[in-house]
Amino acid sequence: METLNYLNNGHGLKSWLLTKDHKRIAVLYLVSITLFFVIGGFFAMLVRLELLTPAGDLLTSETYNKMFTMHGVVMVFFFLIPSIPATLGNFLIPIMVGAKDLAFPRINLLSWYIYVLGGIFTLVAALSGGVDTGWTFYTPYSTAAANGHVITAALGVFITGFSSILTGLNFIVTIHRMRAPGLTWFRLPLFVWSHYATSLIMVLGTPVIAITVLLVAAERALHLGIFDPSLGGDPVLFQHLFWFYSHPAVYIMILPAMGVISEIVQAFARKNIFGYSFVAFSSLAIAIIGFLVWGHHIFVAGQSVYAGMVFSFLSFVVAIPSAIKVFNWTATIYKGSVSFDSPMLYAFGFIGLFTIGGLTGLFLAAMGLDIHVHDTYFVVAHFHYIMVGGAIMGYLGGLHYWWPKISGRIYSEPWAKFSALLVFTGFNLTFFPQFIAGYLGMPRRYHAYPPEFQVLNVASTLGASILAVGYVIPLIYFTYSLVAGEKSVNDPWGARGLEWEIPSPPPTENFTVSPVVTEGTHQYVHPSQEVGLA
């Protein structure tokens, strides 16, 4: 007889679509986010296929421009920003703080519906002809000249922003007010710290892009002229408003992944993190300083060089807390007991690739160097190293680590290792050549390019094909595990944490009564001892 857990507690579509259980909502998000990842990947595939040859011979210019725009819009707003927080965060944060649910379960469900509605708007924009402004919607092209469904797409982004805001709001209140007795801030898992910092950004930054895209839509629909140069409007003002959110947004995309890595490294080295408070505070530092660096996107637009210097200085400073995390993760491995299960492989991949991505960000922060590489493939390579080599590997690592908890099933470890390898190889082959192409001068968003860039582009497309296979395989074995996978125990990994003390999958209300927590983070003990060193 099957024990009651959140998956079998209530059957039928209505019990899912009207659920208030944070775990079911996390699964709803998981499904829709995966769908958007596939859509965004489809657009990427068309871009990379076109770029196999220097001439623009696969797609028309207009179509190509729509492909890279839609790739960016879907991947940024509908995949990367919600991915870890809305799936893993939603699932785990209540459990990790010892609560029965988030503070506002109905608002949690509402956030999913808002996400879906925003997604529908964007898909409608795509299917009825597409948008070709780039995901950055720069004015005056987007307000005056673009020939596409800018308003629909802008509204799609606007609507989805509220999903992000409500998620962040929910997390902040939950972490402040719903921690179980004995669970002080410094006993919280680092996953929770990183999501707290992420939520601060979600809540403070997202409203600014909401109003910004709304102004673009208004200007386009009502001819308001706030960014119209012929009225004395300033197109660069749009860039300031846009990047005021969109730079912190990249920290929304990476901080949760960093939280995942902290958890995985501890679990698979069977060792508590080296420098817990430094890692915890570094998340907050990144969130705060991250709000002060947006001008590094605008160095060559002619803003005051002194303003530029402030932004450049702070952009270098914001790299330091990230470096601190990388050093602490590495130090955690030292004298650990390291196993190379697939989540750990993803964590290693993350640390290496995020380091490269972060270091190349420094290249862009150096003003004199940015002149040359701004708006080239160097930037494209940089952010894909962080977003794909970093955030997506963190997401995959987290999915693998917590899959037994979420589904109650074990996936195929050999296949998981194989696809991790494919992902790592494919990723580097796709994006490393782009650093070279960028420094050579190949601009981004180019439909056709001079022939001397072809070898690098062919290598990149080849890598993307391998990467795509690496992403498809987990879809298969995760699905397979749901129907035929071995059932999991409470803690299949021998890891430490509140989530590993309850069944896999957990019961709907997580805990019967509030757990009283007596110790903090993840001191690992040998079975033969009570506490202390192995």
Partner 1 sequence: MPDPHAEHFPGRIHQPPLVANLEAIQPHDQIELPHHPKLQHHFDDMAQQIEASTLGMWVFLVTEIMFFGGLFAAYLVYRHANPEGFAEASHHLNVTWGAVNTIVLIVSSLTMALAVRSAQISAPPKTQVAWIGATMLLGATFLGVKAIEYADKFAHHLVPGPNFRWEGKHPAPAEIFYSLYFCMTGLHALHMIIGLGIMTVIGIMALRRTFDADYYTPVEIAGLYWHFVDIVWIFLFPLLYLIGGHFTE
Partner 2 sequence: MFTNFPLFPQEASTQAAQVDGIYFFMVAVAAFFSLLIAGVLVITAIRFRRRHEDEVGVQIHGSLALELLWTVIPFFITMVMFGWGAKVFFDAYRPPKGAMEIYIVGKQWMWKAQHMDGQREINELHVPVGRAVKLTMGSEDVLHSFYIPAFRVKADVIPGRYNVLWFTPTKPGRYHLFCAEYCGTRHSGMIGWVEVMEQNDFQAWLSGGRAADSPAAAGEKLFQDLVCISCHRDDAQARAPQLKGLFGHTVQLQGGATVVADEAYVRESIVNPQAKVVAGFQPIMPTFQGLVTEEQLLQLIAYVRSLGEVAPPAPAGAAAPQGPGKD
Looking only at residues 460 through 499 of this chain, which bind partner 2 when binding is defined by CB under 8 A?
Answer: none
Q: Looking only at residues 465 through 524 of this chain, which bind partner 1 when binding is defined by CB under 8 A?
A: 486-498, 500-503, 507, 509, 511-519, 524
Q: Which residues is 443 bridged to in the sheet?
A: 376
Residue 61: CB partners within 8 Å, gap ≥ 6? 447
Whose tokens are 């009564």? That residue is: 513
The Cα–Cα gap between 72 and 383 comes to 12
Residues 224-240: b if buried by 16+ CB within 10 A, e if exposed: bebbbeeeebebeebbb
Helix/strand/coil for 443: strand
Residue 458 interacts, among partner 2, partner 1, none and using kind-specific CB cut-offs from 5 to 8 Å, with partner 2
- Taking CB under 8 A as the criterion, the residue among 208, 264, 269, 379 binding partner 1 is 208
Supply the minimum distance, in Å, between the C-beta of residue 294 and partner 2. 15
Return the number of the residue (56 or 207) whose C-beta is nearest partner 2.
56
- Residue 160 binds partner 2 (CB under 8 A): no
Residue 362 interacts, among partner 2, partner 1, none and using kind-specific CB cut-offs from 5 to 8 Å, with partner 2
Q: What is the largest CA-CA distance in the chain?
A: 77
Supply the minimum distance, in Å, between the C-beta of residue 468 and partner 1. 34
Residue 178 interacts, among partner 1, partner 2, none and using kind-specific CB cut-offs from 5 to 8 Å, with partner 1
Q: Looking only at residues 126 through 185 of this chain, which bind partner 1 when binding is defined by CB under 8 A?
A: 165, 169-170, 172-174, 176-178, 182
The stretch near partner 1 (CB under 8 A) out of 216-224, 424-432, 449-457, 474-482 is: 216-224
- Residue 432 binds partner 2 (CB under 8 A): no
Q: Looking only at residues 100 through 129 of this chain, which bind partner 1 when binding is defined by CB under 8 A?
A: 100-105
The Cα–Cα gap between 223 and 220 comes to 6
275: left (phi over 0), alpha (psi -120 to 50) or beta: left
The stretch near partner 2 (CB under 8 A) out of 152-160, 197-205, 210-218, 274-282 is: 274-282
Supply the minimum distance, in Å, between the C-beta of residue 512 and partner 1. 4
394: amino acid identity, one letter: G
Is the CB of residue 349 less than 8 Å from the CB of residue 389? yes
- Residue 181 binds partner 2 (CB under 8 A): no
- Taking CB under 8 A as the criterion, the residue among 124, 180, 204, 458 binding partner 2 is 458
What is the separation, in whole angstroms, between the first and last Cα of the chain? Answer: 40
Residue 371 interacts, among partner 2, partner 1, none and using kind-specific CB cut-offs from 5 to 8 Å, with partner 2
Supply the minimum distance, in Å, between the C-beta of residue 526 and partner 2. 5
Q: Which residues is 471 bridged to in the sheet?
A: none
Residue 217, CB-side half-sphere exposure with 13 Å CA sphere: 16
